[in-house]
A and B are shown apart, each in its own frame.
Chain A
Amino acid sequence: MAEEKYNLQPDSFEPLGHDQEQEIESEKIAAPSLTFSQDAWRRLKKNKGAVISLFIILIMVIVSFGSTPFINHSELVKSNPEYANLPAKVPGIDINGLNGKMKVGGEWTDVYKENGIKDSVHFTLGTDYLGHSLAQRIIYGTKISLTVAIVATLFDLLIGVSYGIVSGWKGGRTDNVMQRIIEIISSIPNLIIVVLMLIVFKPGMTSIILALAISEWTTMARMIRAETLSLKTEEYVLAARTLGESTGKIAWKHLVPNVSSIIIIQTMYTIPSAIFFEAFLSFIGIGISAPQTSLGVLLNDGQKNFQFLPYQMWYPAIVLVILMIAFNLLGDGLRDAFDPRTRR
């Protein structure tokens, strides 16, 4: 390098004029910087299936939980034998199957007229064998099914996340023992845990929720543990430890936010599986039973008369399937949004 000395005077520099300000503007980073969750949300919005699913789930949740003041359980238990087994009738629609007509002996007959029911009475989705409005029962049943699934998933999340973090954070012997426990629990089919729980406690919402919570948390715990193990060695965790932050605070402020994507994705997969299990148990008659209503109970009721009154099973089945599809699609969408590497 030549040792040249520049003799720079203050007036060697010239401030940029106003007209050049635009150029500086173009150098700026135009878009606001996105946080991780904003970025994920933006990616999720691009996935049509996931967005539609999200809307469907929101609508179902709002309708089923919003119905609470209008549909109460005591009314659903009352039987109205005069309205029993009526098909769907929607005023103003004249499509066979939705106008109060039903195939009886191969011919479409107006069941409402035959039973001498007043013109003003109509049931949008028909009635069941005790004369309850099927639409009301489905909404109520959806609420129960969703409640069971969501509460069970919350428990599962609570147990799984804390177990996983403790196991991963402590490491060593504690971790070893905790992992062996998980290994043992997960080699018992969760069906058996659920069934045993239901036999011991009396069948009903609480025992289903407990049973599902106890049997489903191991996957979550495993994933959280694996992530905690790798997060533990990160610099910012080390910094927090050096600064004397308490373990609980590190877990809450550093670990939980960083595993939140796993938590959300896993939750979205646990909910449909809980919905399925509730329906399954109620369907074989060891879950929620008769006076209570859930989608599984409705399917069980409908299946008995399926040959003659197919609509009684079709409607709850459709609701259940839509719910499951929506949760599965949203789960896939969230997985792709939070972890773009898996996207294909």
Chain B
Amino acid sequence: MKKYLLKRVLYMVLTLFLVATITFFLMKLMPGTPYSNQEKMTPQQIKIMNQQYGLDKPIWMQYVIYIFGMVHGDLGTSFQFSNQPVSYLISSRIGASAQLGVQAMLFGVILGIIVGSVAAIYRNTWVDTTATVLSIIGKSVPNFVLAVLLQYYISLKLGWFPIADWEGFSYTILPTIALGVGPLAETARFIRTGMVDVLNSDYIELARAKGMNKFGIIYHHALRNSLIPLVTLIGPYTVALMTGSMVIENIFSIPGIGEQYVKSIQTNDYPTIMGVTMLFCFGLVLIILITDIIYGIIDPRIRLTGNED
């Protein structure tokens, strides 16, 4: 276990280092300059600006400075908001994104478990068919389309929730739904398949023979066993939520990381792009590591060894 952990952490660091390096050099290859009004600037001004941002140094030195800074939590200074450190930009915005992400994950997974279990219990009835059709639709409707529709019909027409912005719990509901529908559909399908499998196994038959009631069986035997593989989906869900946050936060004008990312891409704000890229990567790598460890703990059949493949 210890050896396994050490190995994984080592890979994590290696991955992050590689991503940082690739991002850095890609940013250097990027066409265009970060100064939006360069035509109006004198060469003198450009020189001063370059000095200020450390762009006058040779590339390898910039690279060393960048990696060194990152190890110490310094992600450079944003070009877009002058003199704001990227780490400050990120830390002031991460709260909203994290809250949205966690809410969407909980909403999707919990509701998905319920829908999937109900579909499995009543399999091959209209309940099952409805659940299957809904989860196919949920999987197929892009979250940004759903977000626009929800925003228009629920907020604007019906006026149930605020249209946009981020000022309290009621503001979070629609974005949460829009983001969470994807994981919901996926979870429901996953749980249903797993549950049908489990419900056909011998120990369920035994429990039934002993006279255990339906919901007892579901709760004590079926659900627990079909929940375990769900842990492996948390990684992919995180990716989906990160991707989704870029567009959902834009639509609902939520001051989060995703919105910032899109903005910095559109304005060539390299330090912020690099910072957010590293943040996303770090988040994903960490979550994959955690879920792998949890999976090993709750399912003893999977051994965490140093040389498993």
- In-complex Cβ contact of A306 among B12, B152, B309 (8 A): B152
Nearest A residue to B120 via CB reads A344
- Tell me the complex Cα distance, A202–B19, Å: 21
By a CB distance below 8 angstroms, the chain A residues around B141 are: 321, 324
Q: Is B265 a contact partner of A187 (Cβ separation < 8 A)?
A: no
Minimum distance in angstroms from B260 CB to a CB of chain A: 13
Kindly supply a per-residue 1/0 record for chain B positions 169-208, scoring 1 wherever the CB is within 8 Å of any chain A CB and 0 otherwise.
0000000000000000000000001001100000000000
- Tell me the complex Cα distance, A267–B309, Å: 25
Say yes or no: is A177 at the interface (Cβ < 8 Å to chain B).
no
- Tell me the complex Cα distance, A325–B309, Å: 35
Q: Is A199 a contact partner of B142 (Cβ separation < 8 A)?
A: no
Number of interface residues of B (CB under 8 A): 47
A189-B243, A299-B144, A328-B140 known; A184-B18 Cβ under 8 A: yes
Q: Which of A200, A202, A285 is the most central at the interface, judged by chain B CB atoms within 10 Å of its CB?
A: A200
By a CB distance below 8 angstroms, the chain A residues around B22 are: 196
- Tell me the complex Cα distance, A320–B265, Å: 26
Minimum distance in angstroms from A125 CB to a CB of chain B: 17
Say yes or no: is B262 at the interface (Cβ < 8 Å to chain A).
yes
Q: Is A200 a contact partner of B243 (Cβ separation < 8 A)?
A: no
Minimum distance in angstroms from B23 CB to a CB of chain A: 6
- Tell me the complex Cα distance, A202–B148, Å: 28
Q: Is A320 a contact partner of B145 (Cβ separation < 8 A)?
A: yes
Q: Is A196 a contact partner of B23 (Cβ separation < 8 A)?
A: yes
By a CB distance below 8 angstroms, the chain B residues around A272 are: 140
A272-B140, A284-B262, A286-B265 known; A199-B273 Cβ under 8 A: yes
- Tell me the complex Cα distance, A25–B193, Å: 44
By a CB distance below 8 angstroms, the chain A residues around B291 are: none
By a CB distance below 8 angstroms, the chain A residues around B265 are: 195, 199, 286
- In-complex Cβ contact of A184 among B15, B148, B261 (8 A): B15
Minimum distance in angstroms from B250 CB to a CB of chain A: 6
By a CB distance below 8 angstroms, the chain A residues around B266 are: 285-286
Q: Which of B15, B27, B123, B266 is the most central at the interface, judged by chain A CB atoms within 10 Å of its CB?
A: B15
Stretch at the interface among B76-84, B88-96, B281-289: B281-289
Q: Is B14 a contact partner of A184 (Cβ separation < 8 A)?
A: yes
Q: Is B11 a contact partner of A184 (Cβ separation < 8 A)?
A: yes
- In-complex Cβ contact of A192 among B29, B196, B250, B281 (8 A): B281
Instruction: List B120-156 residues whose CB lies under 8 Å from chain A.
Output: 123, 136-137, 139-142, 144-145, 148-149, 152, 156
Minimum distance in angstroms from B282 CB to a CB of chain A: 10
- Tell me the complex Cα distance, A313–B137, Å: 18
By a CB distance below 8 angstroms, the chain A residues around B156 are: 307
- Tell me the complex Cα distance, A310–B242, Å: 28
By a CB distance below 8 angstroms, the chain B residues around A188 are: 15, 19, 281, 284
By a CB distance below 8 angstroms, the chain A residues around B142 are: 276, 279-280, 283, 320-321, 324
Q: Which of A184, A192, A279, A306 is the most central at the interface, judged by chain B CB atoms within 10 Å of its CB?
A: A192
By a CB distance below 8 angstroms, the chain A residues around B14 are: 184
Kindly supply a per-residue 1/0 record for chain A positions 276-317, scoring 1 wherever the CB is within 8 Å of any chain B CB and 0 otherwise.
100110011110000000000001000100110010010001
Say yes or no: is B246 at the interface (Cβ < 8 Å to chain A).
yes
Say yes or no: is A142 at the interface (Cβ < 8 Å to chain B).
no
Q: Is A189 a contact partner of B18 (Cβ separation < 8 A)?
A: no
Say yes or no: is B53 at the interface (Cβ < 8 Å to chain A).
no
Q: Is B193 a contact partner of A321 (Cβ separation < 8 A)?
A: no
Say yes or no: is B158 at the interface (Cβ < 8 Å to chain A).
no
By a CB distance below 8 angstroms, the chain B residues around A199 are: 26-27, 30, 265, 273
Minimum distance in angstroms from B281 CB to a CB of chain A: 6
Q: Is B246 a contact partner of A284 (Cβ separation < 8 A)?
A: yes
By a CB distance below 8 angstroms, the chain B residues around A280 are: 142, 144, 243, 247
- Tell me the complex Cα distance, A160–B240, Å: 22
By a CB distance below 8 angstroms, the chain B residues around A251 are: none
Q: Which of A202, A284, A303 is the most central at the interface, judged by chain B CB atoms within 10 Å of its CB?
A: A284
Minimum distance in angstroms from A270 CB to a CB of chain B: 14
Minimum distance in angstroms from A203 CB to a CB of chain B: 10
- Tell me the complex Cα distance, A284–B262, Å: 7
Say yes or no: is A183 at the interface (Cβ < 8 Å to chain B).
yes
Say yes or no: is A190 at the interface (Cβ < 8 Å to chain B).
yes
Say yes or no: is A213 at the interface (Cβ < 8 Å to chain B).
no
By a CB distance below 8 angstroms, the chain A residues around B193 are: 344
- Tell me the complex Cα distance, A276–B139, Å: 11
- In-complex Cβ contact of B30 among A187, A200, A313 (8 A): A200
Q: Which positions in A face B, CB cutoff 8 Å?
A: 179-180, 183-184, 187-192, 195-196, 199-200, 202, 272, 276, 279-280, 283-286, 299, 303, 306-307, 310, 313, 317, 320-321, 324-325, 328-329, 344
Q: Which positions in B face A, CB cutoff 8 Å?
A: 11-12, 14-15, 18-19, 22-23, 26-27, 29-31, 123, 136-137, 139-142, 144-145, 148-149, 152, 156, 193, 196-197, 239, 242-243, 246-247, 250, 261-262, 265-266, 273, 277, 280-281, 284-285, 288, 309
| 8 closest A-B pairs by CB | A324-B140, A325-B140, A191-B243, A189-B239, A317-B145, A184-B15, A187-B285, A344-B196
